[in-house]
Amino acid sequence: MTMDTGAPKFRRRKADRPAEIVQAALSVFAEKGFAAAKLEDIARRAGVSKGAIYLYFETKEDIFRAVVGQAIAPNIGAVKAMAAAHPGPLAGLLRGVTAHIADVVSHTPLGGVLKMVVGEARNFPEIARVWHDELVSQALGAMAEAIEAAQARGEVKAGDPRTYALQLISPLLVAVLWRETFVPVGARPFDLPAVMAQHIDTLLCGLLTEGARE
Amino acid sequence: MTMDTGAPKFRRRKADRPAEIVQAALSVFAEKGFAAAKLEDIARRAGVSKGAIYLYFETKEDIFRAVVGQAIAPNIGAVKAMAAAHPGPLAGLLRGVTAHIADVVSHTPLGGVLKMVVGEARNFPEIARVWHDELVSQALGAMAEAIEAAQARGEVKAGDPRTYALQLISPLLVAVLWRETFVPVGARPFDLPAVMAQHIDTLLCGLLTEGARE
DNA sequence: TTTTAATAACTGACCAGTCATTTAGTAACA
DNA sequence: TGTTACTAAATGACTGGTCAGTTATTAAAA
């Protein structure tokens, strides 16, 4: 009955390691970018030696792919599903979708991953392609379709629906990049829910007062 | 009179070198990111040996700072000046400012630089700070002030003017990042002028048809 | 005892930055 | 005009450090 006073030097937890490593890698990649991220740092944050990483991943690129891929999976189809669930007036759908995205982006590291995808797109074109084909383009397309349907119902003005979808989500994305880029150096942050509430009001009803309409 | 048949191996052009190197560096940095960019590549694109770079710059970071700094200077104050030049109704100012930014972003590498600033902000906080303090925050502030003035005139609805400014420029930024990130892997591009024309119409007059207003 | 998760020391490639050498330009002189 | 002497721009082989990936070894589990 030797009391185990100190933490054991090793602990064998094969099943949990990959997820732990991916999570640690995410934080380091998001902070430094792919090239400047050191495997030693990732290992340290995962509470593991560098060698152990190579029991679960082939290369550094492999880890990067796992990080970016993991951030896609749970979001695929979410916007499509919401569009299907809101057949009624557009306003409800817009509020639902933006609230959902704002929530995801606030409570998960999706913002950091987005920054990585943008920053490393030229070095990893296949990652940019997967993100576009499976996530971004799908979500944008689903929104555009919903808007087009609303146009067919006579609810929404004429105009390019894909552009309307872009207008809708842009402030959200920029606010996230703002948070990642400028807030750490002292910029005033934006409050995501407040921004989106005002944005949707503006989109639906316009910026001008009744009197100032031409 | 010996005819000079081949290109000379060296050419001495001290005055032009720094600008040439900065331009070459911009294209390499924008493509690869700071860490993955090789000085050999920058040198090759500048038509110079690696050693020559060190006649004009101290370190790789120095070149990076020059690249990012160079992209700020000509834009400082532009938005402020436009705001001062448009005392009239807001619509004119919005069109002017967005057209100007769209033009700059289309015909200069500012988009690539923006991507770099976002991607390397954590590694070079002082660069992010300079960009924020001297360019981004100034421009946003100038727009917010103009909008606030319009609110005081009763021209614009109540609401946070800084958020309104964010709403205004976001689609522009996202469209640029879209171009840099997803268009190279096959995404449908956005037409900047068209996007901004529709965006301003939507902001001013709303997305909904008269009948669909609540 | 056998198996395998995990380590830590190690290796080899790569690359920022240096420096001895080469070449172009220039001016003084014949 | 051609020759020589000098300055400075430019080169490219080299170096030292860093880091992705490997391996010999150790310790926990079965």
- Span A67-71, mean pLDDT? 94
Chain B residues with CB-CB distance to A33 below 8 A: 33-35, 119-120, 122-123
Separation between Cα atoms, residue A76 and residue A159, nearest integer Å = 27
Separation between Cα atoms, residue B208 and residue A155, nearest integer Å = 6
Residues 6+ apart with CB under 8 A from A76: A134, A135, A138
Separation between Cα atoms, residue A68 and residue B208, nearest integer Å = 37
pLDDT by residue, tens only, chain B of 214 residues: 333 333 445 565 667 889 999 999 999 999 999 999 999 999 999 999 999 999 999 999 999 999 999 999 999 999 999 999 998 899 999 999 999 999 999 999 999 999 999 999 999 999 999 999 999 999 999 999 999 999 999 999 999 999 999 999 999 999 999 999 999 999 999 999 999 999 999 999 988 877 666 5
Residues found in chain A = 214
- Which positions on strand C lie below 7 Å from a protein C-beta? 4-9, 15-20, 23-25
Domains of chain A: 17-61 (1.10.10.60), 76-206 (1.10.357)
B152 — contact with chain A (CB < 8 Å)? no
> Strand, coil or helix: what is B210?
helix
User: pLDDT tens for residues A83-95?
Assistant: 999 988 999 999 9
Q: Which residue of A has its CA nearest to B157?
A: A209
Partner-chain contact B129 A185, CB within 8 Å: yes
HEC string for A74-99 = HHCCHHHHHHHHCCCCHHHHHHHHHH
User: pLDDT tens for residues A109-135?
Assistant: 999 999 999 999 999 999 999 999 999
By C1' distance from the Cα of B56, the closest nucleotide is D9
Q: Assign A2 a pLDDT band (cuts: 50, 70, 90).
A: very low
Q: Assign A10 a pLDDT band (cuts: 50, 70, 90).
A: low
Residues 50-109 of A with CB under 7 A from strand D: 50-51, 54, 59-61
User: pLDDT tens for residues A162-213?
Assistant: 999 999 999 999 999 999 999 999 999 999 999 999 999 999 998 888 766 6
In chain B, alpha helices (H): 17-32, 39-46, 50-56, 60-72, 78-85, 90-107, 110-120, 125-130, 137-152, 161-181, 192-205
Residues 6+ apart with CB under 8 A from B53: B21, B39, B42, B43, B46, B63
> Strand, coil or helix: what is B168?
helix
What's the complex ipTM? 0.89
> In terms of Cα–Cα distance, which of A40, A1, A2 is closest to A21?
A40
